Structure 1
């Protein structure tokens, strides 16, 4: 049995990773800002972090702070504590396209990858496409308006969070592998078609309003920098996710 620390272990991805690893018989510690006994703010580090990492074989780093911009500092604190504790393997979840799309959060994720690669620890980095849950949240927020605005000309390749969790659990219980193959959902779809599926699943009627945007980030998304059609390893489609969540077949 392996002792594994999951940072962000109460979050969208981390809780599924935790459940998967525990089901496989591993001892799992959950670190987050509020989960006892390992309530730690990684951006600050401190003695609580040392206690969380003590005796751990592998760390699965799922914690992230998109709005705070301190992912690099958090990773540096985690690495320092992991080295002191003698942890042998750090697994990190990143995003497909962080090296191709000049979006602020993506730049932070790419910089964090570099910190991990240079850590001196055994490391594994998995990049995944966006989760179904994220698209549903975005569409839900936009659908509060009478018209659903949609960035024109952009596609996406959403993947199911439980499938990414299963892959992370597999990587966490294997030897350090460096940068592994990207993981994408089963379909590359236009945002328009995904939004229409969401509207049908939630029994809403909204006209879609294509909105052309400007800038390097928008151009990179339009060019598909965030997609990985050659690694469409996910199996759960967006429609299947919506049916499971809302109990309604989107294409009825």
Structure 2
């Protein structure tokens, strides 16, 4: 099977490409800039304008759509919503048999602008003519790590201690996507999360221990509907199966030593 992977240069893309190659797929990958990689054919495309899309989808059997623009302003709408529509149209014209879209657990619950765009992109895929699947994944541990680093810039780690998170390893998400490609179109939404649900304060304690840091946690309660949704589990899922690699596994791999709580 020949598979086109959009957004292949991103964090998930770096896990997806070798996984698909190991599974015997022929892979074409897209990027906004020219790239080279053994075993992968790279195509220069821009979802924001549609440039290069027709050439990218030509002669492929399936599209794995990872590309996203989680930035403030109009570009998110241009890439995630309008770009997904452009991709779906080009895929239909090329006779693509399966469009797999990667989304985020909570896009239908968490009131954030970026999540609204992701939900709109899901709806574009579901309404389009190409047989489809949507995989919603929980947050990657790298994202949680970066969030904690940013929230500790001025000394203490600042955050709402009762927010719930469920980190999932991107390599395990890549494996799930490969399985979805092999299974064919779901014409529905699948959710996939990590093995454990953590409170923010639990995640911070383990992170501090792994980094041998004495930074205190400064609790700041996120107000309004957003805070309530995050504390009520808007970012987590009970769906099975789940990944196996834990937050502690990630911390041990990244920082070494103990991840005691």
> TM-score, normalised on structure 2?
0.91
- Quickly say closer, same or farther: Cα 1:232–1:192, change in 2 above 3 A: farther
Which ranges in structure 1 are unaligned for 5 or more consecutive residues? none
Structure 1 match to 2:38: none
Residue 155 of structure 1, aligned match among 154, 164, 178: 164
Runs of 4+ in 1 over 6 A off after TM superposition: none
In structure 1, C-alpha distance between the alignment counterparts of 2:47 and 2:122, rounded to whole Å: 16
Alignment of 1:114-125 (within 5 A): 114-125=123-134
2:76 corresponds to 1:69:
yes
Secondary structure of the residue that 1:13 maps to in structure 2? helix
CA deviation profile, 1:26-78 (whole Å, cap 9, x unmatched) = 110111212444121111102x1111110010000001111132210110111
Structure 1 match to 2:10: 11
Structure 2 match to 1:82: 91
Instruction: Give the drift of 1:231.
Output: 3.3
Which ranges in structure 2 are unaligned for 5 or more consecutive residues? 36-41
For these two proteins, the number of residue pairs brought into alignment is 250
In structure 1, C-alpha distance between the alignment counterparts of 2:23 and 2:34, rounded to whole Å: 22
In structure 2, C-alpha distance between the alignment counterparts of 1:165 and 1:93, rounded to whole Å: 10
CA deviation profile, 1:123-176 (whole Å, cap 9, x unmatched) = 000111111110011112222321110124211111111101100111122210
Structure 1 match to 2:49: 44
Asked if structure 1 preserves the Cα contact closer than 8 Å seen for 2:192 and 2:239, the reply is no
Asked if structure 2 preserves the Cα contact closer than 8 Å seen for 1:151 and 1:213, the reply is yes
